[in-house]
């Protein structure tokens, strides 16, 4: 992550002001790897019947946001390993870049499956950044990174998401002793939904408050884009306060751990964690 963008994210986290320039898209959660840092713990499972099921909602949200603010969106694509369905991702990127409200594509990948270079060729080097975690890089991945120099970069965001497999205490990603001493509002511990963006979860037909699928579902695909953005704005105004209170009451060290605890996230089922009047509502209360 460029230093300027990291500074921007930290600022919006500190002042709890919506960043408003990025959106996240997951068409499927399938992944054959078991990366120890994975924030969603996605596993091979039930593929969606229609890989493009989330596109209509995604593009409508981008268009509505652009209409309201004039700000183009950085579109972040992850999952699941996107390149296990490389042809779909390639074609999707072409459709996405044709949207007036899209500024650039960010593809999060291990670069282990083939297809990245075809995507770059189809999209244009200036239109994409490929983000790779160095911990998963094989010799072949390093060679591909060299061929994609200027497009592909190793993930340099210092934030660790204490969700999914990344919360379970592996050596490199476990909570560090000093984190227990840090104030709850510090970036890295506090809720960063204002410094993130909506997640369009194509596999489950849901829209989430921030980029992590453990975050609350604020809409499904039956809602119109204007309603979804209105719900996002009202939720962001109060959600970080609710999260901070839950952190203290439930003894969590990280804000993301609150959503993890209440969502009971599983890539193979539809999540049920929601916001009701700006307040976290656990799944049991929704049944």
Q: What is the pLDDT of residue 284?
A: 44
What domain range includes position 143?
3-286
Summarize the confidence of residues 226-250 as an average pLDDT.
91
Q: What is the pLDDT of residue 260?
A: 86
In this predicted structure, the answer to whether residue 285 has a pLDDT above a threshold of 50 is no
Helices (H), 81-184: 86-97, 116-123, 139-147
Neighbour-count burial of 264, counting CB atoms closer than 10 A to its CB (0-12 exposed, 13-18 middle, 19+ buried): middle
Q: Residue 92: which CATH number?
A: 3.20.20.70
Which of 115-129, 228-242, 258-272 shows the lowest mean pLDDT across its residues? 258-272
Output the average pLDDT for the chain: 85
Q: What is the pLDDT of residues 178-196, one digit of tens each?
A: 666 666 666 667 898 999 9
Strand intervals (E) in 168-233: 199-201, 206-208, 217-220
Most confident listed range (128-142, 158-172, 242-256): 128-142
Count of domains forming the chain: 1
């Amino acid at each position: 992550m460029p230093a300027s963008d990291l500074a921007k994210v930290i600022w919006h986290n500190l002042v709890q002001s919506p960043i408003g320039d990025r959106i996240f898209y997951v068409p499927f959660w399938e992944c054959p790897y078991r990366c120890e840092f994975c924030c969603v713990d996605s596993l091979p499972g039930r593929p969606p019947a229609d890989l493009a099921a989330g596109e209509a909602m995604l593009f409508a949200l981008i268009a509505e946001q652009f209409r309201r603010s004039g700000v183009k969106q950085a579109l972040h694509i992850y999952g699941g390993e996107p390149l296990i369905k490389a042809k779909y991702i390639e074609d999707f990127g072409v459709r996405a870049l044709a949207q007036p409200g899209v500024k650039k594509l960010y593809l999060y990948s291990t670069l282990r499956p083939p297809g990245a270079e075809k995507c770059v060729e189809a999209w244009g080097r200036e239109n994409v950044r490929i983000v790779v975690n160095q911990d998963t890089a094989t010799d072949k991945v390093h060679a591909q990174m060299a061929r994609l120099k200027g497009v592909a970069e190793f993930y340099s965001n210092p934030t660790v998401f204490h969700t999914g497999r990344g919360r379970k205490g592996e050596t490199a990603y476990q909570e560090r002793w000093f984190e227990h001493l840090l104030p709850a509002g510090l970036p890295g511990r506090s809720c960063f939904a204002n410094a993130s963006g909506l997640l369009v979860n194509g596999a489950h037909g849901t829209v989430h408050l921030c980029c992590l699928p453990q975050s609350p579902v604020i809409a499904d695909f039956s809602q119109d884009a204007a309603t979804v953005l209105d719900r996002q704005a009202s939720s962001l105004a109060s959600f970080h306060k609710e999260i901070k209170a839950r952190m203290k009451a439930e003894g969590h060290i990280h804000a993301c751990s609150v959503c993890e605890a209440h969502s009971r996230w599983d890539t193979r089922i539809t999540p049920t964690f929601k916001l009701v009047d700006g307040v976290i509502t656990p799944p049991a209360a929704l049944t």
